Amino acid sequence: MSPRILAIIAAFSASFIYGVNHTIAKGLMPDVIGPYGFILLRVSGAAIIFWIISLFYQREKIAFEDWGRLVLCAIFGMVINMNMFFKGLELSTPINSSVVITLSPVLLLILSALILSERITLLKGIGITLGLGGALLLILFGVKTQANAPNIPLGNLLFIVNATSYALYLIFVKKLVEKYSSITLMKFLFLIAFLINIPIGSSQFAAVEWATLGFDEIWKLGFVVIGTTVLTYLFNIYALKQLSPAVIGVFMYLQPLIAALFAIITGSDQLTTLRVIAASLIFTGVYLATRKKKVKVLADES
């Protein structure tokens, strides 16, 4: 099998894991484990795994001046981002979460304009407006509650906080990615995130009745820690070696489809007309906001 085919399989696998994670993670909260305790488990497990993996790589030393940025990246990428997503998932629904988080590229564009002074064109401005409009439609006019979602508007709002925090992480981590290997960054980022998350999630983590957990709960917890946190990262890294970032980005649009199908099949969620309209606005907005202008190249006539 060619390396490119393997890369496509890896990219699809990452999107598939992310897609089903919306339903699997939600099914564990809050009866098995609270959202903040879940994140403490997630970052501690990932930290252990990445530190073990790092033993097989050349050791890198983090420069003193980079520690502040590293801590900032951990806060936005593995603390605020993850806690807001899981708390939002507890309050809202798998389909809503998978749709709203696709706003990440739009929010990244807005924050890049504010922080990095990048220019926003008219087309991108229209895309931003449509994308945010779709999200507001879900928050303001969507179903307020359902059996497994006690506060859908607040949960959807937390998804936007989650996506905003992740966009900030992407902006701040860029300089670190240029200096250090991915494994080095991940092992330190998750270690810092673990330390910060201890006071946030320790009480919920301690409240879990670990001795009484059945196989169904254990494999789902393992899926989130190993699959969603570690394997997806490794799959995307492998895929990026053969595919362009633009191609990888296309697979992001598979996540809501996979999440919706899985949630509907398992009976965890259902489609509504409003959700379809909101998703259409968000997808169109993301497409317009991230669309690159084609440059015509004139042939050399000399």
pLDDT tens-digit map of 240-287: 778 766 666 667 777 888 888 898 898 888 878 888 888 888 888 877
What pTM was computed for the model?
0.84
Give long-range contacts, CB 8 A cutoff, 24+ apart: 24-29.
24/220, 24/223, 24/224, 25/86, 25/89, 25/220, 25/224, 25/228, 26/89, 26/90, 26/93, 26/94, 26/148, 26/268, 27/220, 27/268, 28/217, 28/220, 28/221, 28/224, 29/86, 29/89, 29/90
pLDDT at 88 (0 to 100): 94
Mean pLDDT of all residues in 83-98: 92
Count how many domains the chain has.
1
d(CA 73, CA 242): 27
pLDDT number for residue 246: 60
Inside any domain, residue 140? yes
| 273 within domain boundaries | yes
> Which one, of 280, 298, 293, lies nearest residue 102 by Cα?
280
For residue 170, give both structure tokens.
């992407």
Q: List, for residues 272-284, the tens digit of each pLDDT value.
A: 888 888 888 888 8
150 part of a folded domain: yes
229 versus 191: which is more confidently predicted?
A: 191
What is the reported pLDDT for 296? 43
d(C-alpha 151, C-alpha 170), whole Å: 29
Mean pLDDT value of segment 13-38: 93
pLDDT at 116: 76
Q: What is the pLDDT of residue 61?
A: 93
* Residue 119, pLDDT score: 81
How many whole angstroms separate alpha carbon 125 and alpha carbon 222? 41
Is 69 domain-assigned? yes
Q: What is the reported pLDDT for 300?
A: 45
pLDDT over 50 at 136, yes or no? yes
User: What percentage of the chain exceeds 90 in pLDDT?
Assistant: 45
Q: Which of 33-47, 159-173, 182-196, 244-258 has the lowest mean pLDDT?
A: 244-258
296 CB burial (10 A radius; 0-12, 13-18, 19+)? exposed
pLDDT band at 98 (very low <50, low <70, confident <90, very high): confident
Q: What is the pLDDT of residue 249?
A: 64
301 assigned to some structural domain: no
The pLDDT of residue 275? 82
Domain assignment present for 300: no
Q: Which domain holds residue 264?
A: 3-290
Q: Is residue 156 part of a domain?
A: yes
In a domain, 224, yes or no: yes
